[in-house]
Amino acid sequence: MAPLRLGMVGGGNDAFIGGVHRIASRIDNRFQLVAGALSSTPQKAKASAAALGLDPDRSYGSFEDMAEAESKRPDGIEVVSIVTPNHMHFPPAKAFLDRGIHVICDKPLTSTMKDAHAFADAVTATDALFFLTHNYTGYPMIRQAKAMIAAGEIGKIRVVQVEYPQDWLTEASENDGLKQAEWRTDPERSGAGGSVGDIGTHAYNLACFVSGLRATELAADLQSFVPGRQLDDNAHMMLRFDGGARGMLWSSQVAPGNENGLKLRIYGETGGLEWKQEDPNYLWHTPFGQPKQLITRGGAGSGPQAAAVSRIPPGHPEGYLEGFANIYSGIADAIEAVRAGDPLPDDAALLPGIQAGLDGMSFINACVTSSANNAAWTKV
């Protein structure tokens, strides 16, 4: 089939995540970017579109204009990626959903619980599909770990530990003109959570995705270590999961020496699993009483779930961009099924959607509430 016609809101020239989405959409040749409202500043939007080679007539000064014009074109976009700061996820997403255009949205879902519930209503009211880019769920060895747990290979889960430390906000970079730091530390644009919203949601989503569990309660202690910072830059919490499992989550953006240290450890009655994002092609499996076993992407012990989202032979590293691309390719499969009038493929159930978005917002809200009440146990 011809690539799906893709639009983008946000993601102009100096936006990191916009570039990531564009690369991910192209890796498997499933999408073609044909239109965009790439900045809230019209001149910047036009310059960004020119740099990407977009038709000037399909470079828009606002998402409203883009949604209106593209929905009327016979060759209009079929799907749009929303890659704006958190507070600007819902308005453009609704504009496109209301016109039957599929939506891919960066996480977290939005900046407030009120908008999150309105978001869910907008998704329910349309036949268009909605996807949230919790991209770490696209890694082959994460799919492998999820399948092993579902098959009972480590027994009933007892302990879930997940951490996501970074160091890039150790100093007050938001006061030095760094755009990515400015909006992430601004409650008006980021929402109530700082590190818990930006990276804690990734850690929480990954723990739930792999384990198959949902947290019922948490006790969180949030800190803003950098003087004057309005949102948390470090968070510790304990988690209680359905089924009796217990967990711990640490997210920090003030941990010197950590670049992108997402790490997941899950322990059951008969074994444990360990995975690190910075070494994503390796999954450690330890059956109780036996030596650690290393499972590599494409190697011995790796199953069909990992193979389905691998592109190259074992020993050739696949990482962040490829994992992101797996989400995009899964989305393409789902949209093409809808376009053909076919049922959604089975793997569509692995793609984060509106429920993952609501869960993430509930997680943020519970963290902030718990911390404000001296780390009191709070329902998620």
Phi, psi of 213 (to 5 degrees): -100, 165
Burial 204-225 (b: 16+ CB within 10 A, else e): bbbbbbbbebebeebbbebbbe
Is 360 within 8 Å of 140 (Cβ atoms)? no
What tokens appear for 66 in the block?
């883009």
pLDDT at 91: 98
Domain that holds residue 73: 4-128
pLDDT at 1: 77
Residue 344 belongs to a domain: no
Model confidence, pTM? 0.96
Do 113 and 146 belong together in one domain?
Answer: no
Q: What is the C-alpha to C-alpha distance for residues 319 and 284, in angstroms, rounded to an integer?
A: 17
DSSP-derived 3-state class of residue 241:
strand
Count how many domains the chain has: 2
Do 30 and 171 belong together in one domain?
Answer: no
Do 113 and 78 belong together in one domain?
Answer: yes
Do 180 and 33 belong together in one domain?
Answer: no
**Rounded to 10 degrees, what is the CA torsion of 36, 42, 46, 52?**
-40
Give the domain-ending residue among 128, 148, 183.
128
Tens of each residue's pLDDT in the chain, 380 residues: 799 999 999 999 888 999 999 999 999 999 999 999 999 898 899 999 999 999 999 999 999 999 999 999 999 999 999 999 999 999 999 999 999 999 999 999 999 999 999 999 999 999 999 999 999 999 999 999 999 999 999 999 999 999 999 999 999 999 999 999 999 999 999 999 999 999 999 999 999 999 999 999 999 999 999 999 999 999 999 999 999 999 999 999 999 999 999 999 999 999 999 999 999 999 999 999 999 999 999 999 999 999 999 999 999 999 999 999 999 999 999 999 999 999 999 999 999 999 999 999 999 999 999 999 999 999 99
Do 226 and 367 belong together in one domain?
Answer: yes
pLDDT at 13: 86
How does strand 378-379 pair with strand 215-223?
A: antiparallel
**Closest C-alpha among 93, 106, 96 to residue 76:** 96
Q: Return the ∠ at Cα 145 (arms to 140 and 146), rounded to 5°.
A: 95
Residue 319 belongs to a domain: no
Q: What share of the chain is helix, strand, coil (3-state, %, to 5)?
A: 40, 20, 35
Give the domain-ending residue among 97, 128, 159.
128
Do 372 and 254 belong together in one domain?
Answer: yes
Residue 249 belongs to a domain: yes
Distance of CA 142 to the CA centre of its chain: 14
Residues in the chain: 380
